[in-house]
Structure 1
Amino acid sequence: MGWKRFAVGMGAGVAVTILAKNQLDKTDGKLAPEKALKLVKRKTTHLGTIEGSWVHMVTEDFEQDQLLYQVYRGGITCSDESGKIEAYEFFVDSSTGTVLALNKQDH
């Protein structure tokens, strides 16, 4: 009978973990910052091989074309076929995952 209690406890633990993760991903209708970063990486593969990336975990205001957005700001570094490394800063809408700006950084 001990294994039944263990199985029930395991099942309850898994269920609580899944519910907690879903709630964290849906906070205030925003994407999780990690998910936003993954979307940016997927949309920038044409720039080359992604060597590094980062994203701020807190949203900030971003104005474009007289419209105000809540965005995650971050960056990626990419290497092209010749091995040249370029850095880019991005702003991605925290609600939709739309990349609003991708700016190449000067060295």
Structure 2
Amino acid sequence: MNWRSFFLGAALGVVGGYVTKEILIQKTNVSPEKVLEHVKRQFKQNEPISGSWIHMIAEPYEKQQINYQVYKGGISKNKNGTNEQFEFIADAQTGTLLDIRPL
């Protein structure tokens, strides 16, 4: 066996593995459960939450001419005896809140 060929093959394998890992990391979405936990933490700072939900499948969304893959969900809060509901939209790749609307 030629050592030069062996090391060349091993180096190409390492480089190929690293490139594949980087591509997969960039295209991977944050889990919807983690996004919901992040949103709940943000809402809990003001009042307690009485309920929450999130769609488990990311869907396309456009905001200010930028296209995103997003998770949509909702939060219910009990404020002074009245139930308030909010819909949220969060980026599926980063988990960042893009929009919150009262219902």
Length-normalised TM-score, structure 1: 0.68
- Residue identity in the other structure for 1:86: E
Structure 2 unaligned runs (5+)? 1-24
Number of residues paired by the alignment?
78
**Identical-pair percentage:** 41
- Equivalent residues of 1:73, 1:92 under 8 A apart: yes
**SS of alignment partner, residue 36 of structure 1:** helix
Q: Give the distance between the partners of 2:69 and 2:46, measured in 1 at CA.
A: 25
Q: What root-mean-square deviation, in Å, do the aligned CA atoms of Structure 1 and Structure 2 show?
A: 1.4
Q: Which residue of 1 aligns with 2:67?
A: 68
Q: Give the distance between the partners of 1:101 and 1:59, measured in 2 at CA.
A: 15
Q: Give the distance between the partners of 1:79 and 1:30, measured in 2 at CA.
A: 31
Q: Deviations over 1:29-87 (max 9, x none)?
A: 1111111100111112245211000000000011111101100000010011x121100
Length-normalised TM-score, structure 2: 0.70
Q: Which residue of 2 aligns with 1:77?
A: 76
Q: Which residue of 1 aligns with 2:93?
A: 95
